[in-house]
Amino acid sequence: MQIYLPIADIPVNIFLILAMGAAVGFVSGMFGIGGGFLMTPLLIFVGIAPAVAVASVASHIAASSFSGALSYWRRRAIDPALALVLLSGGVVGTTLGVWTFTLLRSLGQLDLLIALSYVVLLTTVGGLMFWEGLRAIMRVRRGVAVPMRRSGSHGWIHGLPLKMRFKRSKIYLSVIPVVIVGVIIGFIGAVMGIGGGFILVPIMIYLLRVPTSTVIGTSMVLTLITMLFATMLHAATNHLVDAVLALILMVGGVTGAQFGARAGQKIRGEHLRLLLGLLILAVGIRFAIELVIRPDDLFTIRETGGAG
């Protein structure tokens, strides 16, 4: 069934968009990531203008992360204090990111820089997660006792001042690294146009040693707030949010996120990390291939305004 999108100005198959929303929603619910890095390329592939896709995806991510966050909240798997501290850094990072974005655009070659940072970030993060997950599984297979995650492995991070007790996560940690992580995520999110959940989750697990039980829920809260913010910004400044497209994506997305969250709770932590690592790595490699392989068409057209 075809439906006409009022802002994107093209007709699309409603079931295709629903299915795409559900699939990405499932992934985002399962891993606690926004899924923007998956959804945006899919929408562009269907023929929606990149700017409209990015803007509309923000509201879709907000919906599915809200639905996911609610179910994590009921399971007491969200650390509000941790989320708040991360968010305070996130605001600063986003502001810095938007400023950098404007600067880079005036210098030209922004598209290339974004594509390159996608490749570097996705393949590095994905590769590390995949490798770590694989090793954890091998250890379990060989019957070697998995070392306690939070015992004695403190490095310099735990020597920092301004320590704070995050009750829900049962960790006692300095706020400095948490704020810095928030700044980094906010910055990357603004420059690359993604929620940043897929970077936040591994950083929280490996660097901040936040227990896996609260990582995903807390990261979802951060994603939710950033994406609500992004939706408002896109709607108020660029007028590019397609509400009809967003609604279809949301309906598919929230449904998928529910099943994803349930599936995520059933899978063991190291398997989950392995899968997520594999997914991120695959997307990263896809971006890399796109850069290296000779494209089917060397030419592209873009409308630069003046319509009418």
Partner 1 sequence: MIARAPFTAVGLALLLGAVFATPPARAERLIVSVSNHRVTVTPNYSGEELVLFGSVEKDATTPASRTSYDLAVTVSGPHADMVTRRKERRFGIWVNTDYRQFLQVPTYLALFSNRPFDEIASPEVQRRQQLGLNNVQLTQRVGPDYADVVPNDAFRSAFVRLRSEHGLYREATSAVTFLTPTLFRTGIPLPGEVPIGTYDVEIKLFSDGVLVTRTETAFEIVKVGFEQFVATNARQNGFVYGLVTVFMAMMSGWMASIVFRKD
Residues forming the site for partner 1 (CB under 8 A): 1-4, 6-7, 9-11, 47, 59-60, 62-71, 74, 109, 111-112, 116, 228, 231-237, 239-244, 246-247, 250-251, 254-255, 257-259, 262, 290-295, 297-308
Residue with Cβ nearer partner 1 (21 or 177): 21
Residue with Cβ nearer partner 1 (47 or 147): 47
Bridge partners (DSSP) listed for residue 163: 174
CB of 257 to partner 1, least distance (A): 7
Which 3-state string (H, E, C) describes 263-275? HHHHCCHHHHHHH
The widest CA-to-CA distance across the chain, in whole angstroms, is: 69
CB of 161 to partner 1, least distance (A): 38
Residue with Cβ nearer partner 1 (151 or 304): 304
Strand, coil or helix: 68: helix
Residue with Cβ nearer partner 1 (134 or 228): 228
Picking from 120, 61, 95, 299, the residue whose alpha carbon sits closest to that of residue 53 is 61
CA distances for 69 relative to 197, 221, 245, angstroms: 13, 6, 22
Question: What is the bridge-based pairing of β-strands 2-4 and 11-13?
Answer: antiparallel
Residue with Cβ nearer partner 1 (6 or 147): 6
CB of 167 to partner 1, least distance (A): 24
Which H or E run contains 217?
helix 212-233
Residue with Cβ nearer partner 1 (190 or 254): 254
CB of 58 to partner 1, least distance (A): 9
CB of 217 to partner 1, least distance (A): 13
Place of tokens 């297979």: 141
Place of tokens 């592209």: 300
CB of 304 to partner 1, least distance (A): 5
Report d(CA 106, CA 100) in Å as an integer.
10
Helices 212-233, 175-192: axis angle to 10 degrees equals 40
